[in-house]
Chains A and B, each alone.
Chain A
Amino acid sequence: MYTLKNKYMKTIKNLALVLFVATLFTACSEDDPEVVNEEELITTLTATLRPSGGGTDIILKSVDLDGDGPDAPVISVSANLTVNTNYTGVLKVENETESPADDITIEVLEEDEEHQFFFTPTNNIATVSYNDMDEDGNPIGVQFSLATTTAASGSLTITLRHEPMKTASGVRNGDITNAGGETDVQAVFPITVQ
């Protein structure tokens, strides 16, 4: 009986060893992992400003092709703004790591109640108002108007908030202070009005 048990134990040990080696073996034959291209990545924010009296569009662009990577976004402003001019603005957010670029503005508009763009100018370079609204009658900001008065230079910050409290005080009028929510996009454009 004693030796029998001993044998039994040895079998268990051997079995365990075989199992262990087997797992080691299967482990080595694994393929390379699949690459992930981020689906919701926003790389590019483009604001197109069209002067009301005609003329060349002014393009404000922020491009960050490495997403959350270390490279800072590249900010560009195609031309200076003109004094006492009204501009009709359109915003576009895209994922340019895909080809063709994925237009994320469509998703923003599909869930327009959960999104709002905010325009924050400094040094009174311009005033911005909304030209669009969601189903609840609250602004979105994909369509907007921008008006300049006197010559000045400063910056225009464009922020896209996800799940803002659109009914909070001032938010409808474009004041971000009480908006809450999470920032999906934020770009600061240096602007000169002359």
Chain B
Amino acid sequence: MIKKIFFCVLFCCLSFTNNAQECNTILKGTVIDYHDGTPIYGATVYIKSLNKYATTNFEGKFKIEQLCNGEINLTISHISCETKNVTVSIEKDTYRDFFLEHHIESLKEVSIVSTANIKSKTIQSTVLKGKTIEAFSNQNLGDALKDIAGISSINTGNSIVKPVINGLHSSRIIVMTNGVRLQDQEWGIEHAPNLDINTAEKITVIKGANSLEFGGDAIGGVIVTEPSNVLLKDSLYGKSILSGQSNGRGYSFHSSLSKSTKKGWYVNAKTTLKKMGDFESPEYVLSNSGLNSKAYSLQTGLKKFESGFNVYYTFINNEIGILRASHLGNIEDLVNAINSPEPLITNDFSYDINSPKQDVTHQLVKVDYYKRFKKLGKLKVQYDFQNNHRFEYDIRVGNDRNKASLDLNLSSHAITSSFKFDAKSDEKYKVGFMGAYQNNFANPNTGIKRLIPDYDKYDLGFFTIGNFILNDETTLDVGFRYDFNAINAKKFYSKSRWEERNYELDFSDLIIGDFNTQWLVNPKFQFHNISASAGISYQLNDENSVLFNYGLSNRAPNPSELFSDGLHHSAARIELGDLRLQQETSNRVSANYRFKSANTSILVEVFFNDIRNFMYLEATGTEQTIRGAFPVWEHKKTNANLFGADFSLTQNIGSHFILKNISSFIRGKDIKNDRNLIDIPSAKTLNSIGYTLEKWYDFSAVIESEYVFRQNLFPNNNFETYIPTTDTTVLVDVSTTPSSYHLLNFNSDATFKLSEKTNLTVGLTVTNILNINYRENLNRLRFFADDLGRNYTLQLKLNY
């Protein structure tokens, strides 16, 4: 038998006016399942004032006699249901249907947006919740996710952290925040998600493209962050987290306050402030690596079972310093930087953030509305607007010293709507559409040629998802999605670049203006993308289960892949897009095996991802300019295979000790050229021993060992270059990966009850306890400096 979920809620009905005194009126009624209209057996209907009881029969019917006309307070309850009170007015014998809800897991705490199909059993997903997320209050989304098997990060320093799911990142990952797809120029490796981790109460990571509701192009996966739940009672509650850390001499403060009512109204406000100075490696200061961050969010709405709405606004501003020593003039500077054991520029510790730096503001407004229809399902309509304003500051001279080198303003509008047919408990469907418009404006006042051009982008998508419970052990999910993308850009090409790319052969009809040394070009591209998914899960017995899934997805090239055209000072390289790129197509198969007993939990996940027209950025040669030579990195395409395995184990030993292992391994192969793929995460194993003592202030202590293997499988993009000042030809090693490294970390916390409703949790975290020098392959600043040294973080968390 499939266990039905017995948290229920009752929906009140309409009332009639009345005034009569006779006390022989009869109230009859039926208690019905809201979703499928089936009667509910065994519900108790109780009138407290008269101490009268009735119980529903097999047809869900009940009858209470000898009632006085007027208002009657009914209390209707059912096994595992939260007891609900309803007021009914009667003036004569009355018959009434009472609808109870069966399918929501917890209605005492309903999430504000039941985001989607992520409850599906047939996808590879992992959930992080409250306490785990709070531990990263002073860090980034990317940091928090690294403890999940198969998730790593690609960094620019330690404040720009992008999540990598099974080796894929940036445009191949969708980040959802409170039901909105984040549109924040996610294409760039140095563009971290603009999201305050403190706004998330729950983070779900989905591997692969099997969540078609969010989009069809998430070849890597989806990260869904959801805000805290609303308590359906009259309450006012909040929390504050204050963290101080030794490395960077920084602090972070987060505070949130929520007010809710029994009727379902809620309002909630959050704020987070962070300030970090220069971080330090074990031996030197990482000059200009500080961070200033401000984030605010406000949401309000009405959450009822039948209908509700949510209005949400967030603001986040990050000013992030980029390691001073990573700003380079030409290939000679790059060679000097790579060959120098220490960064070429190290200054004393400072909180100042100077150029090079980035200053990014992201704002998001969302309005959604939902409505449930009896015996049918739930409709949801949502509109969101996002504005992402990114400034990047390079080292400049003269009057332009304080002027941004890059000033991009990206505005995105989206309307989404879905209908979930959930009347049958074993057969559910969801259909939906999405329409989006995006405008990018690159401000010409920077006095520097645009790296990304002005463009308009239109997206239209339709999806349908089916969820079938075949029998007690087997669940099947099938999905299909179609997306149309159109991009209309206006871009200046220097005439020499236009010719060097041989664009005059294929694209001469796109030229709309002649500006001396530059062409104004109007590329208009359209892409039709089909995606599909299928998954099946099978419960072998109480302890063992397996799932298999398949995903087909297509991703259109992003603006950076199509149009990039310029010099990146932070890498001393010229990056070039390609107008000829077509969408990439991924076919991914994966399987999970899960074992779960009282003390042991094991999860083994494997996947194979075949990507045709896989787009990647790689060095292709050098170009001479008046500054000297520069390596050229081009967006290219190939056919790629990625495969890997992720392993997680949790073992309780006695009632106080817990052992954990999280390991992952991945390989990436360019099958067209028989080479290794660039930027594939290293194999990694995390082992930890934890001790908990609940009766002593909920004490816990964990010691963790993180071993990252050297990535031996990398493509060789090294090249030789002539260095005029030394009159020598040298090999520029941009490929060789850093050595393996082993970090020890420690975390401990305890919770003290200050009053009935107030808790104080004190936590201490030490990372890189041994203070070792190491460099991480997927940190783009690894050429210039060591990673972070030892860090102590003290965290105080107050719940009230």
Contacts and interface: CB of A to CB of B under 8 A. Distances in A.
A151 interface: no
Contacts of B625: 64, 67-69, 72-73
Contacts of A120: 724-727
A30 to B, nearest CB: 7
A70 B497 contact: yes
A180 interface: yes
Given A40-B398, A188-B724, A183 B627 contact: yes
A31 to B, nearest CB: 9
Interface string A4-15: 011001001100
Nearest to A36: B444
A176 B537 CA distance: 66
Contact of B332 (A28, A45, A68, A183): A183
B727 A66 contact: no
A180 to B, nearest CB: 5
Contacts of B442: 33
Given A36-B444, A38-B447, A187-B626, A69 B329 contact: no
Which of the four size classes fits the interface of chain A? Answer: 35 or more
Contacts of B727: 120, 122, 155
Given A20-B437, A27-B456, A13 B512 contact: no
A13 B446 CA distance: 41
B397 A40 contact: yes
Given A34-B444, A66-B496, A120-B724, A184 B627 contact: yes
Given A38-B447, A39-B447, A66-B497, A33 B453 contact: yes
Given A5-B307, A20-B435, A163 B395 contact: yes
Interface stretch (A50-58, A107-115, A136-144): A107-115
B689 interface: no
B630 interface: yes
Most chain B CB atoms below 10 A, which of A69, A176, A182 = A69
Interface string B92-130: 000000000000000000000000000000000000000
Given A27-B439, A67-B494, A69-B497, A155 B627 contact: no
A69 B369 contact: no
Contacts of B520: 32-33, 35
Interface string B50-70: 000000000000000000000
A162 B14 contact: no
B492 A186 contact: no
B395 A30 contact: no
B574 interface: yes
Nearest to B494: A69
Nearest to A93: B626
A65 B517 contact: yes
Contact of B449 (A19, A36, A42): A36
Contact of B628 (A12, A65, A177, A186): A186
Contact of B381 (A13, A39, A70): A13
A70 B500 contact: yes
A62 B497 CA distance: 20
Contact of B518 (A24, A35, A108): A35
A111 to B, nearest CB: 6
Contacts of A173: none
A64 B379 CA distance: 61
A188 B417 CA distance: 62
B567 interface: yes
A33 B626 contact: no
Interface residues of B, number: 66
A23 interface: yes
B327 interface: yes
A35 B492 contact: yes
Contacts of A24: 437, 458
A177 B497 CA distance: 34
A97 interface: yes
A132 to B, nearest CB: 18
A13 B368 CA distance: 11
A36 B345 contact: no
Contacts of B796: none
A69 B492 contact: no
Contact of A9 (B328, B379, B500): B379
B330 interface: yes
B186 interface: no
Interface in B349-382: 369, 371, 379, 381
Nearest to A19: B383
Nearest to A163: B395
Nearest to B448: A38
B447 A16 contact: no
Nearest to A44: B626
A111 B500 CA distance: 36
B566 interface: yes
A183 B628 contact: yes
A177 to B, nearest CB: 8
Given A20-B437, A40-B400, A35 B494 contact: no
A4 to B, nearest CB: 11
B454 interface: yes
A24 B528 CA distance: 19
A87 interface: no
B206 to A, nearest CB: 27
Contacts of A44: 626
B623 interface: yes
B517 A66 contact: yes
B181 interface: no
A118 interface: yes
B383 A16 contact: yes
A116 interface: no
Contacts of B415: 16-17, 19-20
A36 B490 contact: no
Contacts of B497: 66, 69-70
Contacts of A188: 724
A135 interface: no
B381 A111 contact: no
Contacts of B724: 120, 155, 157, 159, 186, 188
Contacts of B16: none
A157 B724 CA distance: 6
A46 to B, nearest CB: 12
A182 B444 contact: no
B725 A176 contact: yes
Given A73-B626, A180-B345, A186-B626, A68 B492 contact: no
A185 interface: yes
Interface in B448-477: 448-450, 453-454, 456, 458
Contact of A185 (B395, B567, B627): B627
A24 B516 CA distance: 33
A159 B331 CA distance: 13
Contacts of B28: none
Contacts of B450: 33, 36
B424 interface: no
A173 to B, nearest CB: 14
Given A1-B14, A122-B727, A62 B330 contact: no
7 contacts: A9-B371, A24-B458, A33-B450, A72-B623, A183-B330, A186-B330, A186-B626
Interface of A: 1, 5-6, 9, 12-13, 16-17, 19-20, 23-24, 27-28, 30, 32-36, 38-40, 42-45, 62-73, 97, 107-108, 110-111, 114, 118, 120, 122, 155, 157, 159, 161-163, 176-177, 180-188
